[in-house]
Amino acid sequence: MSSNSLGKIFTFTTWGESHGKAIGCVVDGVPSKIPLKEEDIQSYLNKRRPGQSKFTTQRKEGDNVEILSGVFEGLTTGHPISLIIKNEDQRSKDYSDIKDIFRPGHADYTYWAKYGIHDYRGGGRSSARETAMRVAAGAIARKVIENKLKKNILIKGALVQIGKSKINYNNWNKDFIDQNDFFCPDMDVIPEWEKMILEARNNGSSLGAIIEIRCNGIPAGLGEPIYDKLDANLAKAMMSINAVKGVEIGSGFKSVSILGEENVDEIRIENSKPKFLSNNSGGIMGGISTGQEIIVRFCVKPTSSILTSRKTIDKYMNEVEISTKGRHDPCVGIRAVPVGEAMMATTLADHCLYLL
Amino acid sequence: MSSNSLGKIFTFTTWGESHGKAIGCVVDGVPSKIPLKEEDIQSYLNKRRPGQSKFTTQRKEGDNVEILSGVFEGLTTGHPISLIIKNEDQRSKDYSDIKDIFRPGHADYTYWAKYGIHDYRGGGRSSARETAMRVAAGAIARKVIENKLKKNILIKGALVQIGKSKINYNNWNKDFIDQNDFFCPDMDVIPEWEKMILEARNNGSSLGAIIEIRCNGIPAGLGEPIYDKLDANLAKAMMSINAVKGVEIGSGFKSVSILGEENVDEIRIENSKPKFLSNNSGGIMGGISTGQEIIVRFCVKPTSSILTSRKTIDKYMNEVEISTKGRHDPCVGIRAVPVGEAMMATTLADHCLYLL
Amino acid sequence: MSSNSLGKIFTFTTWGESHGKAIGCVVDGVPSKIPLKEEDIQSYLNKRRPGQSKFTTQRKEGDNVEILSGVFEGLTTGHPISLIIKNEDQRSKDYSDIKDIFRPGHADYTYWAKYGIHDYRGGGRSSARETAMRVAAGAIARKVIENKLKKNILIKGALVQIGKSKINYNNWNKDFIDQNDFFCPDMDVIPEWEKMILEARNNGSSLGAIIEIRCNGIPAGLGEPIYDKLDANLAKAMMSINAVKGVEIGSGFKSVSILGEENVDEIRIENSKPKFLSNNSGGIMGGISTGQEIIVRFCVKPTSSILTSRKTIDKYMNEVEISTKGRHDPCVGIRAVPVGEAMMATTLADHCLYLL
Amino acid sequence: MSSNSLGKIFTFTTWGESHGKAIGCVVDGVPSKIPLKEEDIQSYLNKRRPGQSKFTTQRKEGDNVEILSGVFEGLTTGHPISLIIKNEDQRSKDYSDIKDIFRPGHADYTYWAKYGIHDYRGGGRSSARETAMRVAAGAIARKVIENKLKKNILIKGALVQIGKSKINYNNWNKDFIDQNDFFCPDMDVIPEWEKMILEARNNGSSLGAIIEIRCNGIPAGLGEPIYDKLDANLAKAMMSINAVKGVEIGSGFKSVSILGEENVDEIRIENSKPKFLSNNSGGIMGGISTGQEIIVRFCVKPTSSILTSRKTIDKYMNEVEISTKGRHDPCVGIRAVPVGEAMMATTLADHCLYLL
């Protein structure tokens, strides 16, 4: 079986396969009377859409979203919002040569082991195509948060590492993020990254990446201990994205190398309110938001869709070799940036609705 | 509000405060006719129990668990199993000096911001004391897994890093883990760790740690994509443990620095079955177990309960300073090992019960 | 907000408004490798479809269902099955005269009170049009049950009372149910019912009905006490159908007038198996199926869409009167028969999947 | 397995067997800062407690509830509230004669068929003893509702029928309900009921009953369509009570015999607010509260614990006969009154917390 819904009050359920007729989702738990139109969602989908940059996949998808329910005269009704994107790239490509082969490093074998079905058309349900609907749900989630908190919030992701090359945090320029093909906040690292990507493409190889998502404007109090802590749910949300193998909050793994007295976020008063002197906690303490910036990082492994031939097996337990044909996407992590933003948004929206 | 249950079919709900009358949990969804007695649970609690080693906290808790329901004539009945541990260390210590102060680096401020209540007795519900009940639930979970899979499985955690000092993975000795106070698999690193811990204790400081949990014996097929992927649920489970700030599966963050062709776990056939040539995936692909060893790592930040004075505030928005009095626990990560094992166990038990 | 999913393992989520672009549902938790095609679902939709008989509503809806995901090469994949029915009767009827008025006896006022939105096009989300998707989910549920139990089961509903006119249970003819416009098992009562319906139509009035759903073939053991008892979940499922105001199991309310010794279903042995001498329990004891026929009855109130003018109010708190224009459906309970069957099917499918 | 939690935001989980060490529950989702002490809960438990009247069971249980967590300095903390009642009537009665026999009309056979375990000590988990914890959870639920709605509400149950003898609704006297052993609102029917009960007791027989629960003070807007409608959740809650076989809302099954024009609750304006001219809907329309009185009725079958010998079987598939020894409870429905009130309270509390 499977489980395709996330969230407890603000919930969304996605459906659809990479090369099926369409993909879609149903977003439930949205309060009524929030203005919503297709363009609000489309703008985020455009950010994720493949085929836009020479640095990402060339699959052509218009990714045009259509709202089928839950909006009446421009306002949400409080009822489920059904979204659909018809697959354009559904052409019956010839899969006969890889039909029975499990691509290594993909979910082909585990899906087959579990379900006894092998949807060889781009991985079927396990394809990252599903993440388009996360981005769509995330667009609605942003509106829910702002409606509930009665203020603007900013959720913004950035690429902070490709392969072994990290950004210099001192160069962080928020505005620059949307002005380059990498969602990179550090102008200086761009030439190196361009070179790395093109090299990986030419070598038929691929590179991993680290994405950092930040959210400003969330007040103290979001998160439901002990088992719906905000950080725990963010970790789940991020880890559920394809190819993600690690998640950390605030200083994360780095905090291990810091002494306790350095790691403590000390508190002072400013304008009669608590002011933290540092943010090693990443804005979450005891599973509850502190009012500081929320900071989550996750890593995306280098894709296994590469031109280099790799050893694997087929359904009949024969040993074979396989390599991806044609152009490939040397750093899938780039496109995970808007997806990570969306997961932050849906998680926060769900927790917002718990506030009494 | 709060949310104190975890799991969908195998579920457990914990309750209780650090210095309340008792702590407990209700474990539901356990199949009937599994032999279960208090000693089965007690042995794991003993492993976690404080006050056992000079390297951990000196709080004295017998942690004697009692089964109140769900077992009849030595067998589980299929009905909820209620467990209770009476708090022995409930003495009315004098909290008057810290009654109104939010300990920085703890959940004191966020709990107060959210609930408007400040349980100054050891953090109340936010205390790591709650993790005793996770360990108890984990003991039952292990039995559920073995009952369902009809085979033995081994879930074992180890400490792999304290502060900046990492073990040498080449020295990994599974049997040594239970023979030292650190749950450390590498004999050679022990002298250094002992020195570090004692130094931190003497300095009133504290150290972070990284814990690695491994599970052998899980077949391919556990995990429910897209939103109850095995890795996503493990990430949530681990991140919900007190002081955890990062989680990774298999090669985790390290996979970012590896090229795609190196990171792919190639597959061959051995004895008519798939055999992976590496395990960068940590035993999980596409959110489903591959049949390989499942490997999860998480980090525990250095505790903020230190003797060094730190800046903070009180409920009346006064700026104050605070430090922990008396003996403290310089590396709380050590005691997180059995807790991590338990979270692995409860997560796997829940996913096991989905298998048709 | 709203909550549009039902079930815990076999779950379905419906969406769509009466006069929106389409209605649909996402069915999740379906095991893989079950043969499924659109016709399997369509046949049940046809049974419910309006406009087929002179005794029911004349709204014309082809109700052609399309499967958008979750089926690959004719087999379920284990992934979410997305179904859609495009609304044909979406024409922009002129609602200007009733736009601001709350139809009494409908959900218009409560939806407005809760959501602040009044979808005047046929009630929007509160319309019984939503029940088409229940029937679709029910068709898939039947397949899940048979797949899981490895045997055929029969779920069949019948109309047993219209207004004050009850069937004679001695005349129960299972085969006759599908041969008349009322899903009536008693041939003798048909002339009276025809007369009653036509009279109600001519008077612009309406009649209530009682529906009985029976299921044969379910073994002992379905149901999860204490709070997912089979009867409790059936009660919820039936009560969630539009216009239903009562539900009973087995002898139901009649059992109140029976002495304990008469109401007990005594047990004997037949072919080495338990055989109950009566079925007052309706096949459920202690919330768990007994292996006998499962029997549930529910009542549907007479529709409030009538030609008689009734007192009500509008959004501006003016007192007004309203009556339905054109042809109306004098006994909506008839069309609730396939819906009740579907709710029985989805509930049983969910409980089936709990069986270890 | 089993499922022992109810509710989505306000949740409670019960545990414990009839003759185990204790019974208890964990109530989660309670907002913080609500005053709560044991006496608040005890007063409702006393109402349900057996052994108080010559008309109910003579089992002696003090039913003294203890709060183990979730309350600090007299206020709820927002964290789980653990309640426990130690079983006093735990004496090792000699069950050897009925040890292997399934009492007909009880859950003995179905529990055994499902779990393979037969807890012969008073039915174990299937005993109505569990309902004590529902009453306890209900006491907390009442406080949650009043806290959330910022007003008093009144939830009150009454017995309206025993066997074939109904009350006269014209005699309804709210204050009289607490002044008699039957929770009866009609003084005139008391002599007849007393006679019926004593006769049933003398004959070793038993009688069914109908209970009506009313709630005043709930505003319009509670309930989450389509699958968490208020009436659907009330139906589930009531049907989950032991021995309940039917539930109805407002006019319920009676509405079938009424014409549509009579059944419509017409609306007028009074003091600028909607005023309904009748309440056939029982205060719920389209699954959402209307602001009128909420009215639910359910029936309790005559208990199968009777002195008359009945045919049944044992675990070894032998045909045997059984009868209850000693005093029995001729009308268990009486004690279901406070339980029904509690289920109304917990259901309303859960829905209250959805209100934005």
Q: Do B354 and C9 touch (CB under 8 A)?
A: yes
Q: Do B106 and A273 touch (CB under 8 A)?
A: no
Q: Given this model, what pLDDT does residue B92 score?
A: 57
Q: Do B353 and C353 touch (CB under 8 A)?
A: no
Contacts of D353 in chain A (CB under 8 A): 356
Which of C:32-61 have CB within 8 Å of A?
A: 32-33
Burial class (CB in 10 A: 0-12, 13-18, 19+), C74: exposed
Residue D323 touches partner C, C-beta closer than 8 Å: no
Residue B68 touches partner D, C-beta closer than 8 Å: yes
Q: pLDDT tens digits for D163-216?
A: 999 999 999 999 999 999 999 999 999 999 999 999 999 999 999 999 999 999
Rounded Cα–Cα distance for residues A154 and A294 (Å) = 10
* Smallest Cα distance from C35 to chain A, Å: 12
Option in A1, A5, A238 nearest B227 (CB): A5
3-class secondary-structure state, position B248: strand
Instruction: Report yes or no: B131 and B63 within 8 Å, Cβ to Cβ.
Output: no
Look at residues D350, A30, B223, D161 and name the one whose alpha carbon lies nearest to residue C4: A30
Q: Do D17 and B81 touch (CB under 8 A)?
A: no
Give the residue carrying structure tokens 């095991």: C31
Q: Please give the average per-residue pLDDT across D293-300, as a whole number.
A: 98
What string of H, E and C letters represents the secondary structure of B82-135? EEEEECCCCCCCCCCCCCCECCCCCCHHHHHHHHCCCCCCCCHHHCHHHHHHHH
Rounded Cα–Cα distance for residues B14 and A354 (Å) = 20
Residue D291 touches partner B, C-beta closer than 8 Å: no
Q: Do D250 and C249 touch (CB under 8 A)?
A: no
Residue C252 touches partner D, C-beta closer than 8 Å: yes
Is the ipTM of this structure higher than 0.85? Answer: yes
* Smallest Cα distance from B2 to chain C, Å: 20
Contacts of B234 in chain A (CB under 8 A): 239
Q: pLDDT tens digits for B7-41?
A: 999 999 999 999 999 999 999 999 999 999 999 99
Residue B150 touches partner C, C-beta closer than 8 Å: no
Residue B97: CB atoms within 10 Å: 10
Question: Which one-letter DSSP state was computed for residue B61?
Answer: -
Q: Given this model, what pLDDT does residue B62 score?
A: 79
Q: Residue C325's beta-bridge partner residues?
A: none
Q: How many A-C residue pairs are in contact by the CB < 8 A criterion?
A: 154
Q: Do C272 and D304 touch (CB under 8 A)?
A: no
Q: How many A-D residue pairs are in contact by the CB < 8 A criterion?
A: 12
pLDDT < 50 regions, chain A: none
Q: Do B31 and C353 touch (CB under 8 A)?
A: no
What is C293-329 written as a DSSP string?
-EEEEEEEPPPS--SS-EEEEBTT--EEEE---S---
Q: Do D239 and C245 touch (CB under 8 A)?
A: no
Q: Given this model, what pLDDT does residue A325 score?
A: 82
Query: Which residue of A lies nearest to C126 if distances are taken between CA atoms?
Result: A79
Residue A22 touches partner C, C-beta closer than 8 Å: yes
Which tokens go with B205? Answer: 């400081």
Rounded Cα–Cα distance for residues B150 and B340 (Å) = 23
pLDDT class for B48, splitting at 50, 70, 90?
confident
What's chain D's Rg over C-alpha atoms? 21
Residue A202 touches partner B, C-beta closer than 8 Å: no
Residue D11 touches partner B, C-beta closer than 8 Å: yes
Which of B:211-250 have CB within 8 Å of A?
A: 220-221, 223-229, 231-240, 242, 245-250
Measured at the CA of D153, the angle between CA D267 and CA D218, to 5 degrees, comes to 35
* Smallest Cα distance from B52 to chain A, Å: 23
Q: pLDDT tens digits for D222-240?
A: 999 999 999 999 999 999 9
Strands C273-276 and D273-276 come out as: unpaired
For residue D23, give the H/E element and its range: strand D22-28
Q: Please give the average per-residue pLDDT across D111-128, as a whole number.
A: 94
Length of chain B in terms of residues written: 356
* Smallest Cα distance from B64 to chain D, Å: 16
What is this structure's pTM? 0.97
Q: Please give the average per-residue pLDDT across B180-205, as a whole number.
A: 96
Contacts of C353 in chain B (CB under 8 A): 356
Q: Do B124 and D31 touch (CB under 8 A)?
A: no
Q: Given this model, what pLDDT does residue B328 score?
A: 86
Neighbours of chain A (3+ CB pairs under 8 A): B, C, D
Look at residues A282, A1, A241 and name the one whose alpha carbon lies nearest to residue A137: A241
For residue D192, give the H/E element and its range: helix D190-202
Q: Do B256 and A206 touch (CB under 8 A)?
A: no
What is A204-253 written as a DSSP string?
T----EEEEEEEE-PPTT--BTBTB-HHHHHHHHHHTSTTEEEEEETTGG
Q: Residue C300's beta-bridge partner residues?
A: C209, C244
Contacts of A13 in chain C (CB under 8 A): 5, 13, 26, 28, 80
Residue B149 touches partner C, C-beta closer than 8 Å: no
pLDDT tens for chain C, residues 1 to 356: 899 999 999 999 999 999 999 999 999 999 999 999 999 999 999 988 765 666 666 556 679 999 999 999 999 999 999 999 999 865 556 788 889 999 999 999 999 999 999 999 889 999 999 999 999 999 999 999 999 999 999 999 999 999 999 999 999 999 999 999 999 999 999 999 999 999 999 999 999 999 999 999 999 999 999 999 999 999 999 999 999 999 999 999 999 999 999 999 999 999 999 999 999 999 999 999 999 999 999 999 999 989 999 999 999 999 999 998 877 899 999 999 999 999 999 999 999 998 86
Q: How many C-D residue pairs are in contact by the CB < 8 A criterion?
A: 361
Q: pLDDT tens digits for B276-330?
A: 999 999 999 999 999 999 999 999 999 998 999 999 999 999 999 999 887 789 9
